[in-house]
Amino acid sequence: MTNTTTATNATPTNATNVTAIGQTEIPSHPLPSYLNPNDLGPWGTFLQQVDRVTPYLGNLSRWVETLKRPKRILVVDVPIFLDNGTVAHFEGYRVQHNTSRGPGKGGVRFHQDVTLSEVMALSAWMSIKNAAVNVPYGGAKGGIRVDPRKLSIGELERVTRRYTSEIGIIIGPSKDIPAPDVNTNEKIMAWMMDTYSMNQGTTSTGVVTGKPIDLGGSLGRREATGRGVFTVGVQAAQRIGLPIEGARVAVQGMGNVGGVAARLFSEAGARVVAAQDHGGSIYNEAGLNMPALLEHVSKTGTVAGFEDAEVLANEAFWQTPCDILIPAALEGQITELNAHQIQARMVIEGANGPTTPHADDILNDRGVLIVPDVIANAGGVTVSYFEWVQDFSSFFWSEEEINKRLVDIMKGALDAIWQVSAEHNVSLRTATFIVACKRILHARDLRGLYP
């Protein structure tokens, strides 16, 4: 069978390529009806990133269509009793984008704006990320369209447990392993593990990672994503001759990722001059007192109202004079509207998908180095992998050992990507996609398609 697809930089279209079988011409890969070829959100961003890497994939590009359609999508209805006795329904998703290299792996997000197309993109970035750091997983992600801040603790538990039961048909320690993401944490992972275990009739610690330590969780997982952001940030800064001591850092998002990354940069002698979250933006030229700020955030839920800082208008955050900018909140934050204003020499993407392709081009043209999400925030899943391995062997490692292995993997992965970037004269993002897509599609190629 001859596939007439060419490995060009074509923009995603409703595929019209045809394959001749006898006298009949049939479409070789019509676009599934649920995929929007003109998606302007995170999924559209991912498709553009794949198009950019395709010319570098050589023979493997014949498999590239695999990346443009998730392997498996599950949409579930999640009904619960609210505390007032009424029934509420929430929409939940679990998407397994690719499983060529191993079981699906990726977090679960609880957020009022979560959509299927967003979860598809997040699952796809997991495939790339897991391959970039060479952990033996495919990519998956899940989410519930709910504002957890509006739920009582009991309602939150019921939503989590019902969602876990509903997606229980496709998750499992060797099928797909969820973990924390935005607005989910160790407690939620404990409920997920317990619900799955109840349904299976056996304690199954390996079904999720990011669990409490006393339930088979791993030392170091809570801090791992922020530690990875810090590790690659320091490596990249060294390569562009930017000293960390005294460097000015601006961070969007003071949650698990942004909070830890900011603290580690501050402990290394950098000045965290600006911070932003949903509640507002703050600035202190001398450097925010990170322990005090994190204490304030944990008490009040936001950076707003922190005493030892000036209030900054939210739009002004992007113009903050700084050397390093760390977006660590949600997708699509750096766009063509603010990319021109960014003053940093380096952007380290703690969040998934914070930069649109257009903004990516603007920053690249301006010589701002972007350390992309698919390597910068891979520390979390790397230690999730360690947790999963520890659960399987029931043998637990010291935090020192975990952090050492994490740093080794992150440094090794960044070195390899840096080399590919120099070799092909492409951005670090395209270089990461080259390394990762080759690994994924090589596995796909080796596995073949029969029957």
Ligand X SMILES: NC(=O)C1=CN([C@@H]2O[C@H](COP(=O)(O)OP(=O)(O)OC[C@H]3O[C@@H](n4cnc5c(N)ncnc54)[C@H](OP(=O)(O)O)[C@@H]3O)[C@@H](O)[C@H]2O)C=CC1
Minimum distance of ligand AKG from residue 186's CB (angstroms): 12
Q: Which is nearer to ligand AKG, 131 or 381 (CB)?
A: 381
Q: Which is nearer to ligand AKG, 276 or 377 (CB)?
A: 377
Give the DSSP per-residue string, 298-336. HHHSSSTT-TTSEEE-GGGGGG---SEEEE-S-SS-B-T
Q: From the list ligand X, ligand AKG, none, which binds 279 (C-beta under 5 to 8 Å, kind-based)?
A: ligand X
* Marked catalytic residue, from 68, 105, 129, 141: 141
Q: Cα separation of 332 and 373, whole Å?
A: 12
Contact (Cβ atoms closer than 8 angstroms) between residue 250 and residue 271: no
Q: Cα separation of 356 and 114, whole Å?
A: 18
Minimum distance of ligand X from residue 297's CB (angstroms): 7
Is there binding between residue 107 and ligand AKG (CB under 6 A)?
yes
Show the binding pattern over residues 144-183: x = contacts ligand AKG (CB under 6 A), - = does not: -----------------------------------x-x--
Q: What does each C-alpha distance from 123 to 103, 129, 400 come to in angstroms?
A: 12, 10, 30
Q: From the list ligand X, ligand AKG, none, which binds 390 (C-beta under 5 to 8 Å, kind-based)?
A: none
Q: What does each C-alpha distance from 283 to 215, 253, 324, 375 come to in angstroms?
A: 39, 14, 14, 28
User: Three-state SS for 426?
Assistant: coil
Q: Which is nearer to ligand AKG, 53 or 179 (CB)?
A: 179
Q: Is 404 a catalytic site residue? A: no
Q: Which is nearer to ligand X, 12 or 178 (CB)?
A: 178
Q: From the list ligand X, ligand AKG, none, which binds 233 (C-beta under 5 to 8 Å, kind-based)?
A: none
| Helix, strand, coil abundance in the chain, percent, nearest 5 | 45, 20, 35
Helices (H) and strands (E) in the chain, counts: 12, 14
Q: Cα separation of 314 and 350, whole Å?
A: 19
Span near ligand AKG by CB under 6 A; candidates 70-78, 100-108, 162-170, 389-397: 100-108
User: Three-state SS for 437?
Assistant: helix
Q: From the list ligand X, ligand AKG, none, which binds 106 (C-beta under 5 to 8 Å, kind-based)?
A: ligand AKG
What stretch of H or E contains 226? helix 221-239
Minimum distance of ligand AKG from residue 408's CB (angstroms): 18
Is there binding between residue 226 and ligand AKG (CB under 6 A)?
no
- Options 12, 92, 106, 220; binder of ligand AKG; rule CB under 6 A: 106
Is there binding between residue 402 and ligand AKG (CB under 6 A)?
no
Q: Among all residues, whose Cβ is closest to ligand X?
A: 255
Dihedral class, residue 302 (left if φ above 0, else alpha if ψ from -120 to 50, else beta): beta
Is there binding between residue 381 and ligand AKG (CB under 6 A)?
yes
User: Three-state SS for 30?
Assistant: coil
- Which residue from 16, 12, 32 is spatially nearest to 73, judged by alpha carbons? 32
Q: Which is nearer to ligand X, 57 or 274 (CB)?
A: 274
Is there binding between residue 138 and ligand AKG (CB under 6 A)?
no
Span near ligand AKG by CB under 6 A; candidates 300-308, 337-345, 376-384, 412-420: 376-384
User: Residue numbers of the site for ligand X (CB under 6 A)?
Assistant: 180-183, 225, 252-258, 276-279, 301-302, 328-330, 350-352, 377, 380
Contact (Cβ atoms closer than 8 angstroms) between residue 370 and residue 349: yes
Q: Cα separation of 380 and 175, whole Å?
A: 19
Identity of residue 3? N
Q: Cα separation of 102 and 99, whole Å?
A: 5
Q: From the list ligand AKG, ligand X, none, which binds 151 (C-beta under 5 to 8 Å, kind-based)?
A: none
Minimum distance of ligand X from residue 199's CB (angstroms): 25
- Which residue from 403, 389, 435 is spatially nearest to 134, judged by alpha carbons? 435
| Beta partners for residue 81, in sequence order | 87
Q: Cα separation of 216 and 197, whole Å?
A: 13
Q: Which is nearer to ligand AKG, 360 or 387 (CB)?
A: 387
Is there binding between residue 350 and ligand AKG (CB under 6 A)?
no
- Options 45, 134, 184, 377; binder of ligand AKG; rule CB under 6 A: 377
Q: From the list ligand AKG, ligand X, none, which binds 127 (C-beta under 5 to 8 Å, kind-based)?
A: none
- Rule CB under 6 A: which residues touch ligand AKG? 105-107, 129, 179, 181, 209-210, 352, 377, 380-381, 384
Residues marked as catalytic? 141
